[in-house]
Amino acid sequence: MSIWNDPPGGFHAISAPDYLPRPQLAEIQLQRLQSVVSRAYDRVALFRSRLDGRGLTPADIASLADIARLPFTVKTDLRDTYPFGLFASPMEEIVRLHASSGTTGKPIVVAYTQADLDVWTEVMVRSFVACGIHRGDVIQNAYGYGLFTGGLGAHYGGEALGATVIPISGGNTERQLMVMQDFGVTAIACTPSYFLHLIESAKDMKIDFSKLRVGVFGAEPWSDSMRERIQDESGIRAHDIYGLSEIIGPGVGVECIERRGLHVFEDHFFPEIIDSETGEVLPEGAEGELVLTTLSKQAMPLIRYRTRDVTALVSEPCACGRTLRRIRRIGRRSDDMFIIRGVNVFPSQVETALLRVEGTLPHYQIILTRDVGLDQMEVKVEVTPEVFSDEIRALEALQHRLEASIENILGLRVKVTLVGPRSLARSEGKAKRVTDLRNV
C-alpha cells in the first residue's frame, strides 16, 4: 500500500478525530467550549471582568453559536498582562514557557501544562500524518529551537509519531545539506524561505537530495508560485502548516495530501472568520480575519483570539476523508506585522529600538529583500542635522548602536543605513514603513 494513502481512520489511531462525523465533533466542541470558558472565567481576571461587563456568565454558553456573544482577546491583552497575567494554572503546574514578538520592546509569553504539551504533540502527530509522514521517516527539523515554538513543537510531534527526528534547528546551511545527504533525510520541517535557500545552496554545492520527499513548511506566508518553484526545483511535495504561539504553536492547521486548504484541528481550536473592521462574524467562505478559541488549553486558554491572519473557512468535504473544515492559505494579515527569517516583526518594535538610541529622528523605512532565498532586512533611518555633520567614525558608532538595539528587541541582526535629515519620502496620511521586495 502506498505510504501516501492515509485512509479514513488513518494508519494512526491518533488521527481518528480528523474523521469524526460532524455532529459528534460538535458535541465535543460544545462540551470543551463550556469547560474552557468556565476555566477562564474562574481563573483569569481579564476574562472575568470582560464577561461581567457584558452581563454574561459561563452558564450562558448553551450552544456553539453562543460563542459569538463572547468578547474578543487581542495581542495587546497579552502585552498588558505581561508576563503571566493570563495564566489559568498555578506556576507549579506550568512545565514550559515560550515567547513570541510583542508589538513593542517586550515579547509575549505563552505557557503550557503537561496536558497542553500532550495536546500539542497530538496535533503535530496528526499534522505529520496528514502530510504523509510516518514511522521510518527521517525528519530534519530545521525550525528554530528555543523560545520560538517551531523547533520543539515539531520535535515532540515527530518523535511521538515514531519517526527519526534530527534536531538540527535553523541556520548553518552547509551542515544542513551535509546532514540531509548523509543521514538519508526523507522529510524536512522549516520555513519555506529557508528551504528555498537550501535548494539554491545545494545547487552550488552539487548536492542532490533524492531521498527527500516531503516538506512541512510554515511560520510565514508563502505563495502558490513559491510552492511550484520549491516542488519543481527539489522534486518534493510541499505542505503548508499553520499555527501561532498564542494558540499553541505549529499544528493549528495543516494541508493534507489534497492540499486544498489547511484542515484546522477543530476538536482543539474553534475557528471563526470576522470582518476585521466591524468584528462581525462572516458567513462560511467569506474572507476575513481568523479568530481562534482554544478548546482544551489549560495554562493559557484564549477565548476568541484575533489572529490578524486573513483567510476564509472552507467546509466542502475534502477528498482525503477528513471531516475537519479547512482554512484557505494565509496570504496576508490585517495589521502591519511581517515575518523575516521566521521571526515576526512589527514596525513598532523597530521604532522602539530606534528611539532608544540618541541621535536619530523617528523617520525610517524598512526594506525587505531576498538574496539567494534568504530574507534580508535593511532599516534606513534619518539622523539629526547635528549628527549628520559628525565625522564618519561617530556615524559608524551610531549605526552599530542602532543595529545592536534592534537585535536586542527582535533577536535579528539587520542592516542599518543612516541617511540625512529629510531624505526619506514622507507619506500623506498613514506612514508606509515597509517596502517588501521579496516577491517569489
Is residue 289 near ligand DLL by the rule CB under 6 A? Answer: no
Q: Which of 6, 77, 116, 240 binds ligand DLL (CB under 6 A)?
A: 240
Which of 61/196 has CB closer to ligand DLL? Answer: 196
Residue 309 engages ligand DLL in binding (rule: CB under 6 A): yes
Q: How many CA atoms lie within 13 A of 388 on its CB side?
A: 14
**Nearest to ligand DLL of 251, 373 (CB atom):** 251
**CA 223 – CA 245 distance, rounded (Å):** 22
User: DSSP code of 121?
Assistant: H
CB 220 within 8 A of CB 171: no
> Which one-letter amino acid corresponds to residue 56?
L
Query: Residue 113 and residue 3: Cα distance in Å, rounded?
Result: 34
Q: In 3-state terms, what secondary structure has residue 231?
A: helix
Indicate whether 73 belongs to the interface with ligand DLL (CB under 6 A): no
Q: How far apart are CA 256 and CA 239, in angstroms?
A: 8
Q: Please report whether residue 307 would count as binding ligand DLL according to CB under 6 A.
A: yes
- Which one of 119, 131, 161, 241 is in contact with ligand DLL (CB under 6 A)? 241
249 lies in the binding site for ligand DLL (CB under 6 A): yes
Count Cα atoms within 13 angstroms, Cβ side, for 62: 2
**Considering the rule CB under 6 A, would residue 344 count as an interface residue with ligand DLL?**
yes
C-alpha dist (Å) from residue 256 to 214, 224, 270: 12, 15, 19
Number of residues in contact with ligand DLL under rule CB under 6 A? 23
Fill in the per-residue mask, 7 to 46: x = in contact with ligand DLL (CB under 6 A), - = not in contact.
----------------------------------------
Q: For the CB of residue 380, give the shortest distance to ligand DLL in the complex, in Å.
A: 25
Which of the stretches 45-53, 119-127, 170-178, 213-221 binds ligand DLL when contact is defined by CB under 6 A?
213-221
- Which residue number has the CB closest to ligand DLL? 218
Q: Is the distance from CB of 110 to CB of 98 less than 8 angstroms?
A: yes
351-370 binders of ligand DLL (CB under 6 A) = none
Determine which residue in the list 250, 261, 271, 347 makes contact with ligand DLL, applying CB under 6 A: 250
Q: In the bound complex, what is the minimum distance in angstroms from residue 61's beta carbon to ligand DLL?
A: 26
Is 327 within 8 Å of 313 (Cβ atoms)? yes
- What is 355-369 written as a DSSP string? HTSTTEEEEEEEEEE
Q: How far is the CB of 312 from ligand DLL (least distance, A)?
A: 14
Cβ at position 44, least distance to ligand DLL in Å: 20
Pick from 278, 314, 270, 276: which is nearest to 296 by CA? 270
Which set of grid coordinates corresponds to residue 123?
496535533
- Please report how close the Cβ of residue 145 comes to ligand DLL at its closest, in angstroms: 12
Helix (H, G, I), strand (E, B) or coil at 341: coil
Give the binding site for ligand DLL (CB under 6 A).
Answer: 100, 143, 148-150, 218-221, 240-245, 249-250, 307, 309, 330, 333, 339, 344
